[in-house]
């Protein structure tokens, strides 16, 4: 196999990647499949940190209906706990295929995982452990997309990779419009101007300001993680370079 183009990556997984399309909860078959792909990428010598969403278990929006008794901040904390549940599942799945891992949480819960400390996470990566980062940033009103952007910069990653169920960034939602066109390259400014659904606007702004390249690709296609880290063109690359679009 080719050498990795990127020495250290931050992989953003949505909670939906842990369940079959259209379903909720955790399917360990899906989690183990993703784990094997991550393991193969790590075997090339790539250091990998993973940020996970929790939408397969709980979405904060389900508690924001009018007159709901759950406060929005509380709903966000509930979502953060869901990401730790996913992290525990991913940790065991990764270890079942031969990976050394550490699950770290931005909310202290010593009974199940380590607290997130940047220097400690960096050391784990240097030692070849896959670091799973749960509980977002530890505060409400911040998405896991933004948490992924921030952690990628904190940990000195070469690139932020967002795994999705479509092939990249399109002019429109390809699941609603089959004629939507896939972008190969995009500038962050274009993403903002066209209001393209890549990541939330705060995450995009952080990546643009700190020149963190973002790759959006389809994780359901076998081998795509390997292709992405070895420099093969998969999905959409978003950078500060001016790109026609």
Q: Domain residue spans in the chain?
A: 8-239
The domain defined by 8-239 folds into Carbamate kinase (3.40.1160)
Q: Please identify which residue in the block is written with the tokens 């399917």.
A: 27
Please report the pLDDT score of residue 110 as a whole number.
93
Phi-psi region of 233 (alpha: psi -120 to 50; beta: other; left: phi over 0): beta
With a CB cutoff of 8 Å and minimum separation 6, the contacts of 195 are none
For residue 203, give the 3-state DSSP assignment: helix
Q: Would you state the torsion angle of the CA atoms of residues 150, 153, 159, 161, taken in this order, to the nearest 10 degrees?
A: -20
User: pTM of the entire structure?
Assistant: 0.92
Q: What is the mean pLDDT of each run of 10 residues along the chain (245 residues)?
A: 87 91 89 94 94 88 68 91 97 96 97 97 97 96 96 98 91 86 94 90 95 93 89 91 59
């Amino acid at each position: 196999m080719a050498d990795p183009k990127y020495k250290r990556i931050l992989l953003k997984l949505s909670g939906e990647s842990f369940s079959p399309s259209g379903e909720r909860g955790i399917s360990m078959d899906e989690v183990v499949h993703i784990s094997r792909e991550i393991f193969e990428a790590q075997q090339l010598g790539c250091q990998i940190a993973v940020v996970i969403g929790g939408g397969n278990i709980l979405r904060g929006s389900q508690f924001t209906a009018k007159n709901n008794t759950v406060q929005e901040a509380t709903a966000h904390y509930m979502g953060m706990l869901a990401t730790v549940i996913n992290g525990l599942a991913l940790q065991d799945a990764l270890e079942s295929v031969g990976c050394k891992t550490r699950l770290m949480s931005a909310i202290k819960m010593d009974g199940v995982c380590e607290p997130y400390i940047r220097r400690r996470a960096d050391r784990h990566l240097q030692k070849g452990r896959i670091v799973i980062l749960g509980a977002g940033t530890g505060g409400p009103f911040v998405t896991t997309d933004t948490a992924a952007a921030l952690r990628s910069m904190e940990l000195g990653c070469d690139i932020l990779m967002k795994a999705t169920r479509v092939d990249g960034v399109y002019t429109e939602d390809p699941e609603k419009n089959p004629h939507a066109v896939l972008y190969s390259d995009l500038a962050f400014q274009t993403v903002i101007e066209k209001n393209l659904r890549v990541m939330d606007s705060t995450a995009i702004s952080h990546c643009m300001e700190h020149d963190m390249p973002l790759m959006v690709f389809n994780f359901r296609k076998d081998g795509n993680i390997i292709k992405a880290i070895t420099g093969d063109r998969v999905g959409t690359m978003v950078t500060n370079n001016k790109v026609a679009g």
